Amino acid sequence: MAFNLKTAAWRILLLGFLATFVLPARAQLVADPGFELGADSHIWVMNAGATFSETNAHEGTHCVKIAAHGTILQKIQNLNPSTAYVLSAYIMIDGPGKAVLGVQNYGGKFVSTKQTAAPVYQLVKLNFTTGASDTSAEILLSNGSDSGTVFADDLDLTPSPPDAASAPATPPAPATP
């Protein structure tokens, strides 16, 4: 079958239409996840040790730079109760810093994961489940050491995919005589 430019162009146009207007987009739960608003952002709560940076971004033009004991925090609204979520961030550490990615006030105990020795951006993930009546959570990033600098970018918060281990097992195929 010969390549037909008109047919190929229509297929590409149709795929673009479907991707833009028909397929549902996944809602971004984290506001300004790539820190692209920079100093104009009033979304993130920051202490004196955290600033926006126009250098060392993972993607885009901005990231957050967190000095010793600095912290950033954002309250996330409109979560579903009793739902498992995955919080992820790209984290890079300059020097002996210790990055802490955490979640609090979601209906459970504070949960966190720590990252050390990351001279290039690494994807860090954290799982948590909202409480039975909880529809919000606070996400945070901090530098839990006395020195070094933590850079973070491109945060994401998504519902966890169903656990494959809890899915019903496929019954074995009948034995053949």
- Lowest pLDDT segment from 31-45, 60-74, 82-96, 108-122: 31-45
String of DSSP letters for 111-141: EEEEEE--SS-EEEEEEEE--TT---EEEEE
pLDDT tier for residue 97 given thresholds of 50, 70 and 90? confident
Look at residue 35 and tell me if it is in a domain.
yes
Q: What is the pTM of this model?
A: 0.77
* 18 located within any domain: no
Residue 12 lies in a domain: no
Does residue 23 belong to any structural domain of this protein?
no
User: How large is the average pLDDT for residues 13-22?
Assistant: 45
Using one digit for the tens of pLDDT, what is the confidence trace for 19-57? 444 444 557 899 999 999 988 778 999 998 999 999 999
Q: Using the CB atoms, write b or e for 43-55: b if 16+ within 10 Å.
A: ebebeebbebbee
The CATH number given to whatever domain includes residue 119 is: 2.60.120.260
Query: Is 135 inside a domain boundary?
Result: yes
Residue 122 lies in a domain: yes
Please give the angle made by the CA atoms of 154, 162 and 106, to the nearest 5 degrees: 60
pLDDT for residue 95: 92
Could you read off the pLDDT of 100-143 as tens digits, one per residue? 999 999 999 999 999 998 899 999 999 999 999 999 999 999 99
Q: Give CA separation, 95 vs 72, 90, 98, 146, 156, in Å.
A: 19, 17, 9, 11, 25
29/2: higher pLDDT: 29
The residue range of the domain holding 78 is: 29-161
- The residue-averaged pLDDT of 67-76 equals 96
Number of domains in the chain: 1
3-class secondary structure, 149: strand
CA gap 130, 136 in Å, rounded: 8
Is residue 93 in some structural domain? yes
